[in-house]
Amino acid sequence: MNNTMESILINTAHALMADGKGLLAMDESSPTCNKRFAIYDIPQTPEKRRDYRELLVTAPGLSEYISGAILYEETVRQLTSTGEQFVDVLQKAGIIPGIKVDTGTVDLINFPGEKITEGLDGLRARLIDFASSGLRFAKWRGVFSIGEEIPTNQCIEANTQSLARYAALCQQAGLVPIVEPEVLMEGNHSLDESSEVSERVLNSLFYQLYKQRVLLEALILKPNMVLPGLDCTDQKSVEKTADATIECLKRSVPAAVPGIAFLSGGQEGELATERLNQMNLKYGSRLPWPVTFSFARAIQLPALECWKGEAENTVAAQTILLYKAKCNSLARKGQYVM
């Protein structure tokens, strides 16, 4: 990678972390998007997915709160109802377009209950194609379940090595990698167990990024917050979870990383916002990196529920989307009040 490319990538990473802004993850795979549509009886068709994504990217004033949007490949290939490319609509709105490039998870052979993310084969050529379509960053998600004897070191190593190889390929192609290691919330594990696993995963990740010679200054980390499992009876306060998350990140994420943008991971939307707010309120400028959001569910779900697949609800759904984006933008600054 030459110096010009390096500075382009570093500038993009900083623009994604712009003050008061975060990312909109709208990169649900078609099966995941369909599952969410099914809840509201919305037809599960490419056209409806297109209409929904169009509603999101054309919400007026979205760029006040959103620096970048992560698209799904289907959306990149579709045109809006006015015949425009989604990438162009985002660029005109002042939002940096990005794309999810992993192809999803499959069972990790010999390791029951664990997954490996696929998508490295042919990725180099796909990334060149995406960069020439105007996309400026790319996301890859690895997942880790907590349970009896899992995650294993083998699962952690396999997934973090894939994340590092994808990140190296992204930077080579001129795309900022959004590196997403997600410790899942499903299970009855405690806050301490979540913290211990998250730290193991992040340590392995940064070791692998180092080994693959990835430029830390030109990536964004997209981690889970450190939280007790959804079925844990000892749910902790917003303060405790924010403290545990920051402690874990401070122990494992080098200061050279330009920013951290959390996934919401199925937390109740309001809680995700409060936890992010608490981290910025209490630690804010004392942290080595800015912390913001890269939420899908925690921003989108109320808008989807309002839309219900009906054109007449589009404006109301966009108003709700903007409201949720604004709340999280305030949380990014530690200024959110319920």
d(CA 91, CA 296): 20
Among 176, 296, 304, 325, binds ligand 13P (CB under 6 A): 296
| Count of positions on this chain that bind ligand 13P (CB under 6 A) | 11
Q: Is 115 in the site for ligand 13P (CB under 6 A)?
A: no
Among 17, 24, 25, 325, binds ligand 13P (CB under 6 A): 25
Binds ligand 13P by CB under 6 A, chosen from 69, 179, 263, 327 = 263
Check residue 163 for interaction with ligand 13P (CB under 6 A). no
CA–CA gap between residue 62 and residue 95 (Å, rounded): 8
Alpha-carbon gap, residue 259 to 187, rounded angstroms: 29
Strand extents, DSSP E, the chain: 22-26, 66-71, 96-100, 105-107, 115-117, 137-144, 176-183, 220-221, 260-262, 291-295
Minimum distance from residue 79 beta carbon to ligand 13P (Å): 24
Stretch that binds ligand 13P, among 13-21, 162-170, 190-198, 295-303 (CB under 6 A): 295-303
C-alpha 56, offset from chain centre: 16
9-17, 159-167, 293-301, 311-319 -> range binding ligand 13P (CB under 6 A): 293-301
Name which position in 21, 53, 141, 324 contacts ligand 13P (CB under 6 A).
141
At residue 22's C-alpha, the angle toward residues 155 and 36, to 5°, is 65
Catalytic residue among 115, 139, 222, 236: 222
Contact 63, 94 (CB under 8 A): yes
Widest pairwise Cα distance in the chain? 52
How far is it, in rounded angstroms, from Cα 218 to Cα 168? 10
Span of 82-90, 111-119, 237-245, 259-267 interacting with ligand 13P by CB under 6 A: 259-267
CB of 1 to ligand 13P, least distance (A): 26
Active site residue 180: yes
- Can residue 162 be called a binding residue for ligand 13P (CB under 6 A)? no
Active site residue 308: no
Q: Is 53 in the site for ligand 13P (CB under 6 A)?
A: no
Nearer to ligand 13P, 184 or 209 (CB): 184
| Nearest residue (CB) to ligand 13P, 141 versus 189 | 141
Q: How many CB atoms lie within 10 A of CB 75?
A: 28
- C-alpha 156/C-alpha 159 separation (Å) is 5
Distance of alpha carbon 16 from its chain centroid, rounded?
12
Task: Report, in Å, the least distance between residue 113 CB and ligand 13P.
Answer: 20
Structural contact between residues 120 and 78, judged by C-beta atoms closer than 8 angstroms: no
Task: Select the span of 12-20, 188-196, 246-254, 262-270 touching ligand 13P (CB under 6 A).
Answer: 262-270
> Please, which residue, 259 or 265, has the CB nearer to ligand 13P?
265
Q: Which of 54, 114, 180, 182 is catalytic?
A: 180
DSSP assignments along 106-146, one per residue:
EE-TTSTT-EEE---TTHHHHHHHHHHTT--EEEEEEEE--
264 binds ligand 13P (CB under 6 A): yes
Q: Closer to ligand 13P by CB, 60 or 104: give it.
A: 104
Q: Which residues make Cβ contacts (< 8 Å) with residue 101, sequence separation at least 6?
A: 73, 119, 123, 126, 127, 130, 138, 139, 140, 166, 170
**Residues belonging to the active site:** 180, 222
Binding residues for ligand 13P, per CB under 6 A? 25, 27, 141, 180, 263-265, 295-298
